[in-house]
Structure 1
Amino acid sequence: MVRSTPKHASRTFIFVISCFGLLAAGLVADLLWASSKSSSGYHSIASNWAFDDSRSTVIVPHQQPQKAKEGSAVKDKKKADVPERVLSATFADLPAPELEWEKMAPAPVPRLDGAAIQIKNLLYVFAGYGTIDFVHSHVDVYNFTDNTWGGRFDMPKEMAHSHLGMVTDRRYIYVVTGQYGPQCRGPTARTFVLDTKTKQWSDMPPLPVPRYAPATQLWRGRLHVMGGSGENRHTPALEHWSLAVKNGKALEKEWRSEIPIPRGGPHRACIVVDDRLLVIGGQEGDFMAKPGSPIFKCSRRNEVVFSDVYMLDNEMKWKNLPPMPKPDSHIEFAWVMVNHSIIIVGGTTEKHPITKKMVLVGEVFQFNLDSLKWSVIGKLPYRVKTTLAGFWNGWLYFTSGQRDKGPDDPAPRKVLGEMWRTKLSL
């Protein structure tokens, strides 16, 4: 048998070691190159995302899809290597100019889902929730001339406390249907009229069936009541009734059926201008009483907020006008007329797509009736729903409602009685 000499074995050993060394060096270089590419890719993605300390919603930045040949373990590792980012919940806010707001004397009580009617320099503020378990049953009056509250008086005991339909002919205030009591109690069909000069209340024929927050207006000598929520508080209603009225009295004993509204639901602005009746915004669905609850405890259901604008004119057919800049609800008393424009203050929009929480509105909208164009003309001091608005001597006022949790959280928090104003020039 032939054996290898020691010298030959040594050369073979050196050759093998060299091969291993070259292979190891190649692997290290390859790993360093891959690490460099991964790091570079992360920084490229991260540069497109800004940090936000609001901690409202956690999201993960978009990543390029991995090739099909890479295993799921590699994909999971890649995802784990990308840190989470925070997206501010103010995603729904629209760009708007700043307005200079001045805080005025607060209302005597905080109100949510109350109602308000302006007659000349007086703003009559009705009813509303004080808390979810307590409702108001009186009227407070704000005088725009001297910027003071006063002249409180009671409502009829049978009158609804929230979700009211309400309109005025500049002396008489017509009050239609609404929710009677706190939490999510049932509606009443009772209808009343207030003589603001004598502070006397009178009965009117009840609505054919009760409704929550129907769109309500006076048009062509008739009191029109449209939509709202049905008797379960959630189902959108399409019915439209009218009643002939004059000087605070009903001229008919029964309500007349009119053309149904194209889309039902509560919490809409309803305005008559240039002999046209407009219905703006609103929602489908609302909180309902929890089944079997002895106090009719409110339980949330799905709601759809919309930006639709409908109009009735001489043809007595509903027509679509340009929609609002974004969906908006809880605005039935949050509007004023200024120089042939409709101004709408605050409200609620579609819920947050991730947290599913209610999102309040912090913008002031203008609908120019000459151009039929919408614009965002300013920001409120905070986002707020069910505001009660007025306009006097160049000043836009709003009071009451429920505000947001803060600049980075548009969900509802505290019920307020604050009064604010800003100079408005259009």
Structure 2
Amino acid sequence: MERLGRKHMPWRLSVVLSCIMLFGIGFVGDNLWRSSTPMSSLHPFFELPTAIQSAVGLGKKSKIKNKLDHMAPPKYLNATFADLEAPHLEWEEMPSAPALRLDGAAVQIKNLLYVFAGYGTIDYVHSHVDIFNFTDNKWCDRFDMPKEMANSHLGMAADGRYVYAVTGQHGPQCRVPTARCFVLDTETKKWHDLPSLPAPRYAPATQLWRGRLHVMGGSKENRYTPGLDHWSLAVKDGKPLEQEWQTEISIPRGGPHRSCVVAKDQLFIIGGQEGDFMAKPGSPIFKCSRRREVVYGDVYMLDDGKKWKELPPMPKPNSHIEFSWVVVNDSIIVIGGTTQKYPMTKKMILVGEVFQFHLNTLKWSVIGRMPFRMKTTLAGFWNGWLYFTSGQRDRGPHDPSPGKVVGSVWRTKLRL
């Protein structure tokens, strides 16, 4: 066999091989850069640099580039990441919210949806409440929150008049959490203090159940480590009946961004994730830095307050759904969210399905699709209409990665 070293390689082939090597180095470097860039708006696919295209004789209209331009992510995603088959729903757009919100909070009291806090941008957070009237389909009021209250990643629950707001992140970017807790009287619009949590948390599962305010999981003080803690506080008519939170049975799996629902006198925790963005070490503004996240679709029910019972999981892993649910008849409806990141680009994949959890059979189904994929939606239900507002939508039908933060309000007639 003749040794390759004895014959000179043709000039054009040498250039092509050199370009391929350069492209490989650039691709590796690009992936390293992607993994270290926080909350970026990276294109989901790559392009060959113009110089390399020219060197290999492809030019700007290369076959490789054209092929990449026409790749639609949903077509190439496996069942974990792809859109699920869903019936068609007719959506109607309502007046947009006065402010754009990401990671805000919401509760519904009768025909009013109270929308709290949230990011306006990564460097700006809201500290007020907007109210949407389902009867008039209009935004009807606005008032301030306490300055010491968290601005995002709140735990929140309501009893028909009083809103209990616990812990969360205070400030923009990836700032530290607060253990402070408050209660709002929606009739007088006055705020009062509640006992602080034993430790601050980001986006814990929170709900009122059998006379006690339950706070579970979330992320710990570093914003990343999942918490398994479960605390409760006896409350009535907006007032604490105890001075300290009581320790309850730990949840089986920790982490933030889950739905926490009481239905048919049972407490459910749905979906969520382990891990989250962290503050970049040494950053004076607590700049967010990307970290590994694991999204899951686990569902748990607190059986008689003594043990956790695992129920059938969601049709796909789903997170960022803490206020994206409503209870309708004998069902829990969950809309939107985020699923596992796409393994090639490491980009977040948004969810556009509307899920139904049947409380009588404990089974899941997909009952429709949203106008676009969206995370951290704030949901409500009134007179047969399912509403959602605010959050971060996708970049288009063929790109499920995060795009614009919006204040849109949409509704659809729900027939179950």
Scaled by the length of structure 2, the TM-score of the pair is: 0.82
**CA–CA distance in 2 between the matches of 1:94 and 1:197?**
42
2:73 maps to 1:89: yes
8 Å CA contact 1:164, 1:212 repeated in 2 = yes
2:113 maps to 1:123: yes
- 2:211 is aligned to 221
C-alpha spacing 1:89/1:328, structure 2 compared with 1 (3 Å): same
- 2:269 is aligned to 279
- 1:348 is aligned to 338
8 Å CA contact 1:89, 1:352 repeated in 2 = no
- 2:95 is aligned to 105
Identity over aligned pairs, percent: 74
Aligned counterpart in structure 1 of residue 409 of structure 2, from 419, 422, 426:
419
The CA deviation at 1:275 is 1.9
Q: What 5-or-longer segments of structure 2 have no aligned partner?
A: 1-42, 47-63
Pairwise mapping of residues 164-175 of structure 1 onto structure 2 (< 5 A)?
Answer: 164-175=154-165
- 1:233 is aligned to 223
Q: What is the SS of the residue equivalent to 1:279? A: strand
Q: What is the SS of the residue equivalent to 2:115? A: strand
The CA deviation at 1:371 is 1.1
The CA deviation at 1:57 is 5.0
**CA–CA distance in 2 between the matches of 1:233 and 1:166?**
18
Give per-residue Cα distances to partners, 1:312-344, cap 9 Å, x unaligned.
122610010000000000000000011110000
The CA deviation at 1:88 is 2.6
**CA–CA distance in 1 between the matches of 2:262 and 2:373?**
27
Q: What is the SS of the residue equivalent to 2:350? A: strand
The CA deviation at 1:413 is 1.1
**CA–CA distance in 1 between the matches of 2:177 and 2:387?**
30
Pairwise mapping of residues 70-219 of structure 1 onto structure 2 (< 5 A)?
Answer: 87-90=71-74, 91=77, 92-219=82-209
Give per-residue Cα distances to partners, 1:178-209, cap 9 Å, x unaligned.
00000000000000000001101000100000
Q: Rg larger in 1 or in 2? A: 1
Q: What is the SS of the residue equivalent to 2:307? A: coil
C-alpha spacing 1:157/1:56, structure 2 compared with 1 (3 Å): closer
- 1:28 is aligned to none
* Cα root mean square deviation, aligned: 1.6
**CA–CA distance in 2 between the matches of 1:269 and 1:391?**
16
Q: What is the SS of the residue equivalent to 2:355? A: strand
8 Å CA contact 1:101, 1:381 repeated in 2 = yes
- Name the stretch that deviates more: 307-316 or 136-145: 307-316
**CA–CA distance in 1 between the matches of 2:242 and 2:284?**
38
**Aligned structure 1 segments of 4 or more residues deviating by more than 4 angstroms:** 55-58, 83-87
- 2:40 is aligned to none
- 1:311 is aligned to 301
Give per-residue Cα distances to partners, 1:46-85, cap 9 Å, x unaligned.
xxxxxxxxx9558xxxxxxxxxxxxxxxxxxxxxx9x977
The CA deviation at 1:308 is 0.1
8 Å CA contact 1:57, 1:89 repeated in 2 = no
- 2:355 is aligned to 365
Letter in 2 for 1:222: R
**CA–CA distance in 2 between the matches of 1:223 and 1:337?**
19
- 1:11 is aligned to none
Letter in 2 for 1:98: H
- 2:11 is aligned to none
Letter in 2 for 1:199: K
